[in-house]
A and B are shown apart, each in its own frame.
Chain A
Amino acid sequence: MKPIIVAAALAVVFVALPHTVYPVFATTVLCFALFACAFNLLVGYSGLLSFGHAAYFGTSAYVTAHVAKEWGLGVEISILAGLLASTLLGAAIGAVCVRKHGLAFSMTTLASAQLLYFVFLKAPFTGGENGIQAVPRGQALGLLDLGNDMNMYYFCLVVTGAAFWVIYRVVESPYGEVLRAIQDNEPRAVALGYNVTLHKWMAFVISAAFSGLAGSLKAITLQFATLTDVHWAQSGHVILMTLIGGIGTLLGPIFGAALIVTIENFLAGTGAWVTIITGVIFVLCVLGFKRGILGELMNMQLFRKRTADRAARSRQI
């Protein structure tokens, strides 16, 4: 499928979406889709499973909420402040974690995230269990009133669309190729002369930055930042979304995020069944759809680009 067709189809769906479903729900889907895509950059394309990504999502949410509410600096500066905070945090934590491999890497990321959770629990500016509430939405570029849910959605769509395009370009670039090479066989990449640690660190920083962007957008959309955003369950949440959608596919995380957020919101009326249903889907994906739901679909013969090539080659012979 040519990328431009996919992009056009996605654009149509997302532009029409807030007219069919509740706009704030659609905006939340966008935020978590961005979070999942950022996480996928690390786990799907670099092979680094981080258990502590909530740290960047939550830090950015708190910084954005604080700057927007207490300093009153407007939506653009608040989002940039949150983005800066999560990028710097990602750079610092990444520098420590990226030197480790496999399980040690995952555990160090989890430990850093938990450390940050307890810092936020105690820090006065976060409001502890109450969280930072009543974050103003403000006006985008002084023109668009973001208090209107539709405007908020389209603003978010533009930002996440741009972010997703950047992630796409990173993945399809020579740098992305090197990341995949490192994921496939790290010793060979080292032997070829690549600075593996630097490449992994850069992937970590980019992933942390976009996770932070997702957190900032969420803080402005829902108008609060709470401990839920830095809790380890949020790290698990993003792993769940990415895994179900399809690790290592570009669109899988978007699908996974949409599915999980939809289940949580619209099946909440079933009471405690929500978590059971989510769990069952997760188990099915781990057992049956190892590439994630979207990953498996794309792997099927119908969508294989190589089918046509194979037919062409067999004719030649």
Chain B
Amino acid sequence: MKVGLVLVAAVGGVICTAGGCERLEDPCVVSAELPIAGVPGATAGTFVATEARTPAVLFLSREATPDAGLNAGAFATIPTGATVLVLDEAHRGETRRETFKAPARLAARKGSTSSPGIIWLGGAALFHWVESTTTTEPDGRTKTSAKLVLQTIDSAGVEKPAVEPPEMKCDDCRLDVAGLHIRGTTLITFAITPAALAIGGLGGPATQPRVGAFAIGPSGEILPRALPAIIANQPRGLPRFDVIDGTLVLVGPMLVPVDGDLNVVGPVLPRPGVLETAAILDGDPILVWASATQVDAGREALLPSEPNVLVQRFDRSGRPISNAQRITTSPAVQAIARSGDRLGVVHRSGKQYFALARINGEKIGGDIVVSDTSANDDVRLFGESSSFHLLSVSDGRVVRREMTCAP
């Protein structure tokens, strides 16, 4: 029960009423979401890894179709097209959009199609997918053969011939593919995982994937590329490309800056644990990651509660120059950005939160709720003038939120 007039004042970081001081003041104010672009009817959307200053967002159009290759009643979703929105430099609207239909060959697939994806080439889109075919051998044994198919289509709907790289075929296996287009070159990574052998009705031992990469030349020719040894020799699933602060990075058991020929061109940074890692590579590298384990007296043990979100700084050689500092607890780190001498981190623990810290990892204030929804949206965080703004992609929309922080 509050008696008398309610006088709200922020006193030294505490919000006080006539009754007392019991609410802590957030270091930043998060604005309501402001839609800046969208594709009606689209569902999932992701930011395109690009070295350009203006972000691009790719939305897929999908339809659910019965999958003849799976159990009755199961559905596979095959992209029927894609739309890429290119945002303006101020991140407040779109400057152009490009729409692509799926190649006829992909659209005709009604199942037995895996690992579908799209690589935006700027003016065209490279669709990739894996076609599986199951046959019965003369001895009665069934064999499933998989092959990778690549096909480029431009925004006018003109299709180039489909390419089936001869090395991207395997039997009784799983074939995963990812890629991006940067500086005129399309780079693809792949992981081929043999199916586990069944021994006497029991499952066999887990099998390690074979990972590799290749580039696609201007005429569609396949150009082999060698993954850095640190990625190739320690496969942890499919390595993928990303662009962080304009730097092309291979994300595997480590974060490895590379050039178009996959030569290592910068400090190799750790990618601790198996949870997401976000990084700042502009200047001295800064990593943030969620760690579900902790080492005590040489033994690694699972934490009993939420993973620790840790921040650590490195020099340009990749050597740590600070201890890992905890800024919060959360199972999923989504983004990090720098604004002056401060870091902003977006993470998700049910709700989506924003955490502010000093450059040395010292937390400022508490976590601030950004969104109450539990949707796993793709985000990008940008820092400017001691504040930040967040771009989020979900449900066919790109929205912007401001994080205005006290100096």
B is a partner of A: no
- Interfacial residues, chain B to chain A (CB-CB below 8 A): none
